[in-house]
Amino acid sequence: MQTPSSSADTDLQADNLRRAAIDKSVKGPVLFLFVNGAFWLMASTILGVLAALKLFAPSFLGDCPVLQYGRLQPTHINALVYGWGVQAGLGVMLWIMARRSGQELKSGKSVLYVAGVFWNIAVTLGLVSILSGGSTSIEWLEMPKWVWPIMLAAFLCFAWPMTTMFARAFRPEGFMVSTWYILGACFWFPWIFVTANVALHCLPGLGALGTGINAWYIHVLILLFFAPVAIGSAYYFIPKITGQPIASMQLAQMGFWALACLGGWSGMQHYMGGPLPGWMSATGSLASVLLLVPVGAVGLNHHLTTLGKHNLVASSPTLRFTFLGAVFYPVSGIILALISTFTTGPTLQFTNAWYGYQIVAVYGFFSMCVFGAIYYIVPRLTGCEWLSVRLIRNHFWFSTYGIATVVITSLVSGIQQGGDLNHPEMWDQDFYQLVMNARPYMVARAFAWALITWSNIWFLVHLLLMVAGLGRRSSAPTLLHHGHEETSLPHGAHA
Amino acid sequence: MSNFRTFILALTASFGLPWLCLIIIPAIKYQALTPVAYDKDADGVDGYYPPAPINRQGQLVYAREGCAQCHTQMIRPTQLALDGWRKGWGQDQEARPATPTRANTLLDYLGEPYAFLGIQRLGPDLTNYGWRAPTRQEMHQMLYAPRQRHEWSNMPAFKNLYTVQLAQGPKSESALKLGKSYAPEAGYEVVPTPEAEALVDYLLSLKKDNPIPGITAAAAAAVKK
């Protein structure tokens, strides 16, 4: 006769076996995406250092055409967005979707490998083309026009199994907020990507309207791909580590649908006062300010879910990165609103503030959440624990301070630049003062990217050691603080 | 399953609406845009608006080198920014023009496959550069050695658009006149490649403040009154 506790044990064991089977089914593709993503992230930050250096020392490393700012900067951003962002995002999406819907990856693993390889070949060729003089100078789409069909096909290879998992596990009564966001990202990315590429590469030329579509593409890719992946991951890991359910289902639902409805309208305000019809920038500006509502709702929800468990932020690497990422979401929303209104926008238009927004959204918000996810997922896939607390701590603090520096200096320098450009007394002046005023900020930016590069090199090494199976053999996870009873994680956090 | 379908439908509808309104319908409407003829009596000029296309070969070099990272091509209206009042940013090169340079319209960029409105304004705006451009020789000097003109300039030197060749016989007409620290070794000269010439042609073709049929003339008349 079974006692209740032993039946609970059996249940737990069955649960663990099921989880292990799911992890095993997605192990290869997910690790492949993470390792390649981490490599591109490191490459992108090194390019970031060089690009920032070129802004105050244009002849640094000679006048080699490959290393001029006009080619380095797009390569830096494209490596960050497509090499790291989309790739690592896909890894996190695949794992969370499989786990959350309780489905193993049934078949087609080899297709995923091939798709991953092709994605990386496409990114490599695209970036080399930009550096060697094939740039289209269409922001975020600088890679030559034959690259995008390969990337689209590779993305769809990953999106398809995720969609079937979602559909199989869809329960009418259950609202699974993290998988909603992730399915949304699977769904929106191809749509946005095809629209922008067909409009800009295949149609006979849309002039200034094309430039507006380009601005729309960047904003919408951030709001409807990077943001959903990061929010989905935060909604999955914050409750898991803190052991508390998501604070409010209404807030979560409202945050999702408001983002879905408003996100697509944002973007055209980037060229406010430009040749586009006025209503386009007006709606874009309106949507970007209204987005503060879902952004605030999600931020509040994450805050309430973490409430009372802040000690875990100190001890769990996953929660620490995710928490910081979740804080950066409202921050990026506020910066978006600032560059989008017709009061502050014209000052910040065409300045470093735009770069600050891209970095706070793609790095500060999205990447921090993805780092958190990686610190959780990788030990479960490789069967060993992270080697060194010090390396994780290094990664965290160098990234945090580095990103904060890049974003703050970009914003402040943007305000300065915009003020200089719009100052009545500057009407007949050349750009001497502007160049001189921007210089210290660019030095700071180069320094900050160097700090981040340092942290990313160690992140890549740490990740490679884990993938090679050289991690700690232990049943206890690597935590950043030990010895306090209250910091021990709730049981579910180990699952 | 029906709920799954509702979910997908809701996603499609919420994103499809802005997609149709901002991208698809404007893109279809854009295809119907054609140059507008000036009315000789009302506008005082003949021909079509916009009058001439930009130099596409040069624009490709502009794109390739990423010039749009630091140079904009967009004049904002005076209620948003002071672009229109900047000296030399329009056709009027006088110190204090009577009227500001006008803001750009969609038609100004008609015929360009993609308008390089620009990402940042680390260097001067180039919308109407053709009006204030110096001689070709000086433009080549600026592209080859930007710090010869302004020591503080942070513009990259596009040496890859120029060839250093042995000076034989009479000096080439197009050879760059360079200061001591930028000049090649004795007996050599720097000449622009066809790409550099195309880039200069393109920069010279940037004149996007032509009068708008029926509007600019009326505005000018209002100022005169």
Report the run of H or E that residue B25 belongs to, with start and end.
helix B25-31
| pLDDT surpassing 80 at residue A489 | no
Burial of A107 (0-12, 13-18, 19+ CB in 10 A): exposed
What lies within 8 Å, CB to CB, of A343 at 6+ separation is: none
CA distance A248 to chain B (A): 20
| pLDDT surpassing 90 at residue A339 | yes
Cα dihedral: A360, A362, A365, A368 (round 10) = -120
CA distance B38 to B46: 6
pLDDT band at B95 (very low <50, low <70, confident <90, very high): confident
CA distance A315 to A358: 30
Is there a contact between A256 and A117 (Cβ–Cβ < 8 Å)? no
Residues A225-275 pLDDT 10s:
999 999 999 999 999 999 999 999 899 999 999 999 999 999 999 999 999
pLDDT band at A484 (very low <50, low <70, confident <90, very high): very low
CA distance A157 to A90: 11
User: A350, A417, A428, A441: best mutation site toward chain B, by most B Cβ within 10 Å?
Assistant: A350
pLDDT band at A89 (very low <50, low <70, confident <90, very high): very high
What would the two tokens of residue B45 be? 């000029």
What would the two tokens of residue A244 be? 């508390």
Residues A275-331 pLDDT 10s:
999 999 999 999 999 999 999 999 999 999 998 888 888 889 999 999 999 999 999
Q: How many CB atoms lie within 10 A of CB A370?
A: 27
C-alpha of B101 from chain center: 15
CA distance A394 to A454: 9
What pLDDT score does A291 carry?
Answer: 97
What pLDDT score does A483 carry?
Answer: 45
What pLDDT score does B220 carry?
Answer: 61
CA distance B145 to chain A (A): 10
CA distance B92 to chain A (A): 13
The DSSP letter of residue B64 is: H
Nearest residue to A37 (alpha-carbon basis) of A97, A99, A80, A70: A80
What lies within 8 Å, CB to CB, of B99 at 6+ separation is: B92, B219, B220, B223
Report the run of H or E that residue B10 belongs to, with start and end.
helix B2-18
Question: Which residue in the set B19, B67, B115 is minimally distant from A211, CB to CB?
Answer: B115
**Distance linking the first and last C-alpha atoms of chain A:** 28
Q: Backbone phi, then psi, for A471, in 5-degree steps? A: -70, 180
What would the two tokens of residue A477 be? 């996870």
pLDDT band at B93 (very low <50, low <70, confident <90, very high): confident
Cis peptide before B100 (omega within 30 of 0): no
Nearest residue to B51 (alpha-carbon basis) of B108, B11, B1: B108
The label of the residue with tokens 């607390």 reads A389
Domain extents for chain A?
Answer: 22-468
What pLDDT score does A354 carry?
Answer: 96
User: B78, B120, B193: best mutation site toward chain A, by most A Cβ within 10 Å?
Assistant: B120
| pLDDT surpassing 60 at residue A494 | no
What pLDDT score does A12 carry?
Answer: 85
Q: Computed over its alpha carbons, how large is the radius of gyration of chain A?
A: 23
Report the run of H or E that residue B37 belongs to, with start and end.
strand B36-37
Number of cross-chain residue pairs from A and B with Cβ atoms under 8 Å apart: 225
The label of the residue with tokens 């700090």 reads A451
pTM score, two decimals?
0.94
CA distance B178 to A437: 29
Percent of chain A with pLDDT over 70: 95
What pLDDT score does A2 carry?
Answer: 47
Q: How many CB atoms lie within 10 A of CB B168?
A: 9
Is there a contact between A151 and A193 (Cβ–Cβ < 8 Å)? yes
Nearest residue to A90 (alpha-carbon basis) of A21, A217, A182, A192: A182
What pLDDT score does B94 carry?
Answer: 82
Query: In one letter, which amino acid is B110?
Result: L
What pLDDT score does A486 carry?
Answer: 44
pLDDT band at A120 (very low <50, low <70, confident <90, very high): very high
CA distance A213 to chain B (A): 7
Is there a contact between A246 and A302 (Cβ–Cβ < 8 Å)? no
CB within 8 Å: B121 and A260: no
Q: Which CATH class is domain A22-468?
A: mainly alpha
What pLDDT score does A7 carry?
Answer: 72
**Closest chain A residue by Cα to residue B11:** A260
What pLDDT score does A5 carry?
Answer: 59
Q: Backbone phi, then psi, for B36, in 5-degree steps? A: -100, 140
Q: Which residues pair with A472 in a beta bridge?
A: A385
What would the two tokens of residue A126 be? 């695209």
Percent of chain A with pLDDT over 90: 78
What would the two tokens of residue B72 be? 């904009």
The DSSP letter of residue B113 is: S
**Distance linking the first and last C-alpha atoms of chain B:** 71
**B77 touching A (Cβ < 8 Å):** yes
Nearest residue to A263 (alpha-carbon basis) of A281, A290, A282: A290
Is there a contact between A428 and B95 (Cβ–Cβ < 8 Å)? yes
B152-178 mean pLDDT = 89
HEC sequence for chain A: CCCHHHHHHHHHHHHHHHHHHHHHHHHHHHHHHHHHHHHHHHHHHHHHHHHHHHHHCCCCCCCCHHHCHHHHHHHHHHHHHHHHHHHHHHHHHHHHHHHHCCCCCCCCHHHHHHHHHHHHHHHHHHHHHHHHHHCCCCCCCCCCCCHHHHHHHHHHHHHHHHHHHHHHHCCCCCCCHHHHHHHHHHHHHHHHHHHHHHHHHHCCCCHHHHHHHHHHHHHHHHHHHHHHHHHHHHHHHHHHHHCCCCCCHHHHHHHHHHHHHHHCCCCHHHHCCCCCCHHHHHHHHHHHHHCHHHHHHHHHHHHHHHCCCHHHHHHCHHHHHHHHHHHHHHHHHHHHHHHHCCCCHHHHCCCHHHHHHHHHHHHHHHHHHHHHHHHHHHHHHHCCECCCHHHHHHHHHHHHHHHHHHHHHHHHHHHHHHHHHCCHHHCCCCCHHHHHHHHHHHHHHHHHHHHHHHHHHHHHHHHHHHHCCCCECCCCCCCCCCCCHHHCCCHHHHC
Residues B42-89 pLDDT 10s:
777 888 888 888 899 999 999 999 999 999 999 999 989 999 999 889
Query: In one letter, which amino acid is A364?
Result: G
pLDDT band at B125 (very low <50, low <70, confident <90, very high): very high
Nearest residue to B153 (alpha-carbon basis) of B71, B32, B95: B71
What pLDDT score does A492 carry?
Answer: 54
CA distance A207 to A216: 15
pLDDT band at A173 (very low <50, low <70, confident <90, very high): low
Question: Between the CA of residue B168 and those of B144, B164, B177, B180, what are the distances in Å?
Answer: 21, 12, 16, 20
Domains of chain B, earliest start first:
36-155+194-217 (1.10.760.10)
Query: What residues of chain B, 134 to 163, have a C-beta less than 8 Å from chain A?
Result: 146-147, 150, 152-160
Higher-pLDDT residue of B188, B95: B188
CB within 8 Å: B62 and A137: yes
What pLDDT score does B1 carry?
Answer: 44
Is there a contact between A294 and A203 (Cβ–Cβ < 8 Å)? no
CB within 8 Å: A70 and B67: yes
Burial of B79 (0-12, 13-18, 19+ CB in 10 A): exposed
CA distance B124 to B83: 10
Question: Which residue in the set B63, B106, B124 is minimally distant from A207, CB to CB?
Answer: B106
Q: What is the mean pLDDT of chain A?
A: 91
A465-493 mean pLDDT = 71
CA distance A92 to A87: 9
